[in-house]
Amino acid sequence: MNNNKTAILRYLEANHQQHLDIKAALIDMDGVLFDSMPFHTLAWKRLADQLGIEANRDEFYLYEGMTGVATINLLFRRHCGKEVSVEEARELYKIKAEYFRNSGPVDVITGAHDVLSCLKRSGIERVLVTGSGQPDTLRRIDEEYEGLFEPHLRITAADVKHGKPNPEPYLMAQQRIGAAPTQTIVIENAPLGVEAGHASGAFTIAITTGPVPKQNLIDSGADLVFDSMPEFAQCLPQLIEDFRNTSL
Ligand code: CA
């Protein structure tokens, strides 16, 4: 039996389903569609340095998906044992966002366009699910991924109260598209995002597109992990077949 089938059977069993009827893919943005994480982690490191808070750039890959305010308070709790007010955290987050904006245009993730096109050809709806409110990056969705995300099928920072690992963004996406959790797949790259996808009840696929080890993604609850986006793009047609043809 191939890996896909083993993972699908395990998921069916855990979710008390006989068969899957996947209607929609809920797709994260940073690190899945755009290679923006190196700029984000650098911007966070610059802010931490400016505040005199000791931090390591790579640790910010692990916080990916948290709200900016939550990340700032994580730093302050560690640094001095207490949080700052929400207002102060928002002001500090503006500085980080400014550093990010000044980093220059981000690249698209190689293979992501093929993944989205394959989903579309297979009749699987695509919903964008991101905690990001970066207007420049969001605008680029229409340039780089034209016709692949309907305007009403986008959940962004403007919609959600809680960041990942809270499942809220994915639950909201399932509601928006009118699909049960087990009729959706989540495509993620970061541990907290995988945790949110898994907690929403979706079949959660993780792609390693940064320095986070594969094991972290498995430990966070990924049903399947791929080593790169081109590898996932290549395996996706078979995976969709396996979704359709595997039953308990
Ligand atoms: Ca991400």
pLDDT per residue as tens digits for the range 51-96: 999 999 999 999 998 889 999 999 999 999 999 999 999 999 999 9
Q: What is the pLDDT of residue 134?
A: 74
Q: What is the pLDDT of residue 75?
A: 97
- The yes-or-no verdict on residue 136 having pLDDT over 90 is no
To the nearest 10 degrees (0 to 180), the angle between helices 37-51 and 68-80 is 40
For residues 63 and 134, membership in a common domain is answered with no
How many domains is the chain built from? 2
Q: What is the pLDDT of residue 131?
A: 80
DSSP one-letter code for 20: -
Q: What is the pLDDT of residue 127?
A: 98
Q: Are 77 and 83 in contact (CB under 8 A)?
A: yes
Query: Could you report the per-residue pLDDT of 8-47, keeping only the tens digit for each?
Result: 999 999 999 999 999 999 999 999 999 999 999 999 999 9
- The yes-or-no verdict on residue 1 having pLDDT over 80 is no
Å from CA of 186 to ligand 1 middle: 11
Q: What is the pLDDT of residue 27?
A: 98
Write out 37-85 in H/E/C secondary structure.
HHHHHHHHHHHHHHHCCCCCCCHHHHCCCCCHHHHHHHHHHHHHCCCCC
Å from CA of 52 to ligand 1 middle: 27
- The yes-or-no verdict on residue 135 having pLDDT over 90 is no
Residues, Cβ < 5 Å to ion ligand 1: 28, 30-31, 189-190
Rounded to whole angstroms, how far apart are CA atoms 82 and 77?
Answer: 5
- Three-state SS at 29: coil
Return phi, psi of residue 189, to 5°. Answer: -130, -10
* Sequence-ordered list of residues with C-beta below 8 angstroms from that of 43, at least 6 positions apart, any chain: 96, 97, 99, 100, 103
Taken in order 69, 70, 73, 78, the sign of the CA dihedral is negative
- Three-state SS at 185: strand
Å from CA of 210 to ligand 1 middle: 10
Å from CA of 248 to ligand 1 middle: 32
Rounded to whole angstroms, how far apart are CA atoms 166 and 164?
Answer: 4
Q: What is the pLDDT of residue 138?
A: 81
For residues 116 and 230, membership in a common domain is answered with yes
For residues 96 and 77, membership in a common domain is answered with yes
For residues 126 and 82, membership in a common domain is answered with no
Å from CA of 18 to ligand 1 middle: 31
For residues 124 and 18, membership in a common domain is answered with yes
Rounded to whole angstroms, how far apart are CA atoms 232 and 120?
Answer: 15
Domain of 179? 3-36+107-245
Å from CA of 223 to ligand 1 middle: 17
For residues 196 and 89, membership in a common domain is answered with no
For residues 113 and 225, membership in a common domain is answered with yes
Å from CA of 76 to ligand 1 middle: 23
Rounded to whole angstroms, how far apart are CA atoms 13 and 6?
Answer: 11
Q: What is the pLDDT of residue 117?
A: 98
Query: Could you report the per-residue pLDDT of 92-129, keeping only the tens digit for each?
Result: 999 999 999 999 889 999 999 999 999 999 999 999 99
Show which of 101, 126, 150 is a domain's final residue. 101
For residues 158 and 69, membership in a common domain is answered with no
- The yes-or-no verdict on residue 137 having pLDDT over 90 is no
What is the 3-state composition of the chain as percent helix, strand, coil, each rounded to the nearest 5? 50, 10, 40
Question: What CATH number is given to the structural domain containing 68?
Answer: 1.10.150.240
Show which of 61, 83, 101 is a domain's final residue. 101
For residues 97 and 195, membership in a common domain is answered with no
Question: What CATH number is given to the structural domain containing 195?
Answer: 3.40.50.1000
- The yes-or-no verdict on residue 165 having pLDDT over 90 is yes
For residues 58 and 138, membership in a common domain is answered with no
Show which of 101, 116, 137 is a domain's final residue. 101
Q: Are 168 and 160 in contact (CB under 8 A)?
A: yes
Query: Could you report the per-residue pLDDT of 204-232, keeping only the tens digit for each?
Result: 999 999 999 999 999 999 999 999 999 99
Rounded to whole angstroms, how far apart are CA atoms 11 and 6?
Answer: 9
For residues 79 and 153, membership in a common domain is answered with no
pTM of the model: 0.93
Query: Could you report the per-residue pLDDT of 178-197, keeping only the tens digit for each?
Result: 999 999 999 999 999 999 99
Å from CA of 9 to ligand 1 middle: 26
For residues 133 and 182, membership in a common domain is answered with yes
Å from CA of 61 to ligand 1 middle: 9
